[in-house]
Amino acid sequence: MAKQGFSVGWVTGKGIARKGPEFYPKMNNLRNFFPPLLMASVASLFAQSPEVSIQMPKPPPGVGRLLGPFHLEKRVVSPARLTNSPRLESLVRGGNLYLSAQDVIALALENNLDIAIQRYGPFLAREVQRRAEGGNILRGIEAPVLAGPVSVSLTGVSTGSNGLAGGAGVGSIGTIVTQAGPAPPTLDPSLFVYANFGHTTSPQTNLSVNRTTSLTADFRQYQFNYSQQFITGTGVSATYLSSRNLYNSAQFVVNPATTAFIDLTVNQPLLQGFSKAVNNRDIRVARNNAKSTDLQVRRQVVTTVSAVLNLYWDLVSFNDGLRIKEQALATAQQLYDGNQNKVRLGTLPAIEVTRAAAAVSARKEELLISQTNVAQQETVLKNALSRDGAVSAWLDDVHIIPLDRIEVPKTESLKPTAELIQDALAQRPEIAQSRNNLQSQEIMLKGTKSSLLPALNAFVDLTNNGLSGAGNPLNPADPYFVGGYGNLLGQLFRRNFPNYSAGFSLNIPLRNRVAQADYVTDQLQLRQSELQLQRAANQVRVDVKNAVIGLQQARARYETAVSTRELAEQSLKAEQDKFSFGASDVTLVIQAQVDLAADQEGEVQAMANYTHAKIAFDEAIGQTLDVNRVQMEEAVSGHVARQSLIPDSVRKEKP
């Protein structure tokens, strides 16, 4: 479908720019000090640095290779960027910030804090997935879409009633973090090392046993254990324990003596927890959540881009309204001056000067209100396009000069509503998030269903023992046990003294109300999610239909406003002609001027309403990013490749 809507065109800024303060000295000095090439280098450096990065410091030589297999790493998150992109400053000339609609979008992608906050979501989701892949439960990382800024005045603005403009579509990811059912296996292996050295002294009362009144022992113990669980629920543990004892008694046959054993234990659940689909459910949900956070960033970008475009076009309409107020004041002042001359000539009563003066006063008040609206709108827009607006004094003194004008197309070419609804269902990120959430609940349901089964576990234990040491001449030992550490290891690996055991354990909870309640609860929540998905799809249909109606209505209102303004111009001209020939009253001329100004404002407001309706329509269809040529890669990185340029007509103007 051809992209429909308002079009924009360059204007020079002449006649739009209000007289602002002199070029801010700090900005002037900065721009004079840095040559353009250096400024371009700064911008290039900015574009190469990622918004969010996780780095691992380089370990000392040799240490990284030694500890690499155990992943004893310390990763560091880069500091948050609190400065603006160079694009913002590069668009300032003579105390004025010249902005096009595309520049507004680029600055929002680079500097808007709402998008910057949401940008951390995918990184958080990947870390939760990393945690789940290690065998731990999920963590909550939900970050709701932040509502975009709104204009200082939205009187009469129609957004198509789809509830999307001005930061709608606000919501959270809806990720599942509740853990029910069998605990997931710990998939990261564990290495345990233990050493113990000591000396004991025990008094003896029976000399016939140890032939000493004070039995002393020097001992050393070493233990190594490696354990790991697998996605099938299988648990494996291998242990090596060695203990050396030296006594001061000749009664011991082998002294000093070293004993050791190697033990291998395997556990396997056979009912509850016996399924890969049960044990990896957190991992699969974490992957779904990672997709949802990507969609959440997209939603935030759509919300923010729509909001800043609404701000920008409102500022355009406010500036147009300001010019109308200035023209109305000039017309009223001209009438007042003319009436004064006629009073001096005696061709007009003095009361007519008073009436004209009252009209001038009223126009001045209206102009002041319009100037205030423009100043406030500039403040809101500058805050949305900067990161450090609260501490940037130079930004407060800069006036925004919009470079685009609103043009309403003569015709509206839209797809059939049924096709637009299908496009919206396929493109709206919240629909994809709802589907992801529904899939995650189906995955988690398998875990709670597994809890209904009894806990039946089988185990196998294999142990090899060994004993070796120095022989006692006074009490000879079997030569097989006399020897060093090699003799001990030989006994272990030859399995001279093996132990075997195998068995099972069965735990049957009576009534099992907790598991039953969890299972039914998850089923009920799954049914709720199915209905919520259907409700969201139905709402999309409503949004699209309302957006189409709102767009068509806004266009019709604009055409009516144009006709009304043209008639008001003709009426004013007629009254002025009649007044010049003395056939009309000054009150009627003033009223005609007021009516024309009101109708001109109505036309400007109708144009602004059309832009809001078009933005809401794009958001309802899910085509905001495509229509405005926004690349998600640029939105995620926070760097827009497109270069912003001020038109030559503005560039040549003197500050």
Q: What pLDDT does 593 receive?
A: 83
CB 285 within 8 Å of CB 444: yes
Q: What does pLDDT average to over the chain?
A: 82
Distance separating alpha carbons of residues 40 and 137, to the nearest angstrom: 47
3-class DSSP assignment, residue 22: coil
The number of angstroms, rounded, from the C-alpha of 132 to the middle of its chain's C-alpha atoms is: 21
Q: What is the mean pLDDT of residues 117-144?
A: 86
Helix (H, G, I), strand (E, B) or coil at 258: strand
d(C-alpha 255, C-alpha 251), whole Å: 9
- Report the C-alpha dihedral over residues 193, 457, 188, 279, rounded to 10 degrees: -170
Q: Which helix (H) or strand (E) holds 201?
A: strand 190-203
| Rounded CA separation 27/360 (Å) | 39
Strands 235-247 and 214-229: antiparallel
Mean pLDDT of 578-598: 80
> Quick one: CA dihedral 508, 514, 520, 525, positive or negative?
negative
pLDDT of residue 113: 92
**Cα 140 to Cα 19, 130, 143, 324, 645, distances in angstroms:** 52, 14, 9, 53, 43
Q: How many residues does the chain have?
A: 655
Q: Which of these ranges, 6-15, 308-317, 442-451, has the smallest mean pLDDT?
A: 6-15
What's the token pair of residue 286?
A: 């974490």
- Give the helix ranges, DSSP H, for 346-428: 351-384, 393-396, 417-427
Q: In DSSP terms, which residues pair with 269 in a beta bridge?
A: 457
How do beta strands 96-99 and 190-203 pair? unpaired
Tokens 């030992």 -> residue: 477
Structure confidence by residue, pLDDT tens digits, 537-575: 999 999 999 999 999 999 999 999 999 988 988 988 888
- Count other C-beta atoms under 10 Å from residue 302's C-beta: 26
Decide which of 621 and 81 is more confident.
621
CB of 88 within 8 A of CB of 385?
yes
Greater model confidence, 205 or 400: 400
Distances (CA, A) of 29 to 73, 92, 186, 195, 386: 46, 13, 60, 68, 21
Per-residue pLDDT at 65: 58
CB 114 within 8 A of CB 304: yes
Residue 58 has what pLDDT? 65
Q: Which amino acid is at 193?
A: V
What pLDDT score does 655 carry?
40
Residue whose structure tokens are 């040799």: 62
128/133 Cα distance (integer angstroms)? 9
Q: Are 608 and 314 in contact (CB under 8 A)?
A: yes
* Positive or negative: CA dihedral 89, 93, 98, 102: negative
pLDDT band at 45 (very low <50, low <70, confident <90, very high): very low
Angstrom distance (rounded) from CA 480 to CA 126: 58
The b/e string for 439-473 (b: 16+ C-beta within 10 A; e otherwise) is ebbebbbbbbbbbebebbbeeeebbbbbbbbbbbe
Is the separation of the CB atoms in 650 and 11 below 8 Å?
no
Percent of the chain whose predicted confidence (pLDDT) is above 90: 41
Closest residue by Cα to residue 379 from 369, 389, 370? 389
Residue pair 143/115 in contact by the 8 Å Cβ criterion: no
pLDDT confidence of residue 508: 92
- Say if pTM beats, i.e. exceeds, 0.85: no
